[in-house]
Chains A and B, each alone.
Chain A
Amino acid sequence: MIVARKRFRLEPYVEFAKRAIAREATYRFDVFTGLGSFVVRIYLLRMVWFALYAHNAAPAGLPLHTIITYSAVALLMGLVLDIDQTRALHDRLHDGSIATDFMKPISVPLYFFADGTGEVLFHAALVIPGLILALLFVHIDVPSFPVFAAFALSFVLGYFVGFFLNFMLNCTAFWTLEISAVQLIVTWLTDLLGGQIVPLILFPAFLGKVVYALPFAAMFSTPLLIYIGTIPPSRYLEVMTLQLFWIVVLGAISTVMWRAGARRVVVQGG
C-alpha cells in the first residue's frame, strides 16, 4: 500500500492564529489592566530617572533623555515579549488534552507557534495605545530609519529567543506538572538580566561580562542598545549573529525536549 505523502498546508495554522487573536480580544478586561499597569510604570520610571539624574553626574554616553527613551521602549517591548505564548502547551499537558492533539493531522509544535503568534499579534496592537499614553508622560527619541529598521529586525530575533525560552519552560511540564514557580523565577531573572529594568551597560564590570553571555540579553538588551545607538552599525552583524546563535541553540534544545516529552506523554487522567 502506498501512503500518500502528507503535503504541508499553511492555511490551518493561519486559522489557528486568527482564532487566538479572537480569543484574546474577549479578555478585554486584561487589556485594561495591562495598559493601566503600563501607565503606572511609565510614571515611575520617569520619576526614578529624573531623581537619579538630578543628584548625580550622568554616566558617559547615557544622558537623561536617552535612558528615558531606553526604559520607555523597554516597557513597550515588554507588552509583547512578556507574553507567555506557549502557555497553551502547559495547560494542555495539565488537563491531558495534549493526547488528542497528537491524533490531529497537524504539527503540534507549529500549532502552538501559530496560536502563540496570534496571541502576541493581538498584544502587539496594544503598543499603539501604549505609545500614545507613554508620550503623555515622557519624550521618546526616534532614531533614523536605518537604525529603526535594524532595531525592528533585532526585536524579531529577540522574540524568537523568548519564544524558545518559553517553549522549553513549558516543555518541562512533560516531566513535572507544577511549573508556575519556575516560570515566575525565570520571568524575574529575564527582566533583570535581560536589561529591561536597568540597561546592562550600567551593570558593574564583572557582572556585565556574565549577563552579556546569557541568552536574556539577546531578548531585550540587544534591540534596545541598537535603538539608543550604543551599538553602532558596525557591530550590527556581530550582535545579530549572537542572537541567531541563541535561536539555534535554544531551538535545538526545544526540539530535543519536545521529542523526548512527546514520547512519554502520559495522560494525567484528564
Chain B
Amino acid sequence: MASASARGSVRRLAGVYREYWRINVLTTLEYRENFILWSLFTLVYHGSAIAALWIVLARFPSMNGWSFRDMFFLYALWMAAHAVHNTFFSNVEGIPERIREGEFDRVLVRPIDPLFQIVTTPGQIFPDELILALATFIAATLYSGVRVDAAFVLFVPLVVIGGALIDLGINLMIATIAFWFVKVDALRWIVLQLEQEFTRYPVAIYSRSVRLLLTFVVPFAFMNYFPAAYFLHKTGATFSLPPQIGLLGPVIGLVFVAIAYAFWRFGLDRYQGVGH
C-alpha cells in the first residue's frame, strides 16, 4: 500500500520533471536570439579561460610539472562537472534571492517537496553548456594523451557526477545560510571564485591552509585536481595522499551533498519567513 503510493508519487514527480524540460525547450526556442547570445557567452567564458592558460603555458612550459596539455584536461574535467551542475541544478543558486523577495514562501504552501519545486522552476535552460563541455572534454582527452582504458571510461562519468554533486552541495549550503542571513552574496562570490578560478591550477601550488580548505572543507579539489592527477599519473598530489584518492570523487560528492541536504532540512524546519 505504502509502496504503491510511493510509486505513484515518484511517477507524478517524473511527470512534473518531463513537463519542466518541455517548457525549458519551448522557452529557449521562443527567445532564440537571446539563447544564441548566452551560448556565445558560455563559449567566450570558457574559451578565454583556456586561451589564458595556453598563452601563459606557451611561455612557462611547466606549472609544478603540469604542461598545457595536462592543464587543459584539468580544466575540461572541471568544466564537465560544472556544466552538469548548471544544466540540472542551476536554480539552486537563485534560492537566496527568492527568500529575500518572499517568493520562497509560496513554494512552502504547495504539496510538492520545496527543493524539487525549486529545481524544476522553468527558465531558459538548455543543455548547450553540457554539449560544449562534452566536446571540450573529448578534445582534451585526445590532446592530453591520457590512456583511455576501461577504468577511465568507467570512472570519468562517476567523477563528473561526483563533481556536479560537490557543486550542488556547496550551492545548497549557501542557500540554506540565506534562511538566517538574508544577504549571502559576498559569501557566494568568494566561494564561486574558489571554485572557478582556483580549480584552474594544480592545487599543489597553494599554501597549506588553502589546500586544506579545497580538500576537506569545500572539496573542489575532488572535482578535477585529484582525479586528473590520478588519470595523468602526476605524483606528489598533496598532503602525501595516495593517487587513488582521485577515484573517491563520487563518494565525496555523495557525502557532501548528503550533508548539505541535511543542513537544508534543518534550515527549512526553522525557517519563518523574512517578514513580507
Residues of A within 8 A of B (CB): 29-30, 32-33, 36-37, 40-41, 43-44, 47-48, 50-53, 55-56, 59, 176, 178, 181-182, 184-185, 188-189, 191-192, 197-198, 202-204, 207
Contact = CB atoms under 8 A, between A and B. Distances in A.
Q: Give the dominant DSSP class at B's interface.
A: helix
Given A29-B183, A192-B52, A181 B41 contact: yes
B61 A56 contact: yes
Contacts of A204: 55, 58
**Looking at chain B, what size class is its interface with the partner chain?**
35 or more
A59 B190 contact: no
A40 B190 contact: yes
Interface in B47-87: 48, 51-52, 55-56, 58-65
B51 A44 contact: no
A30 B186 CA distance: 7
Nearest to A39: B190
B63 A178 contact: no
A192 B51 contact: yes
B65 A55 contact: yes
Closest A-B pairs by Cβ, 5 of them: A181-B37, A51-B205, A56-B60, A33-B186, A52-B60
The secondary structure that dominates the A interface is helix
A182 B201 CA distance: 28
Given A48-B201, A56-B61, A182-B37, A37 B193 contact: yes
B189 interface: yes
Given A33-B189, A51-B205, A55-B60, A202 B55 contact: yes
B153 to A, nearest CB: 32
A198 B52 contact: yes
Contacts of B193: 37, 40-41
Q: Which of B56, B183, B193 has the most CB of A within 10 A?
A: B56
B38 interface: yes
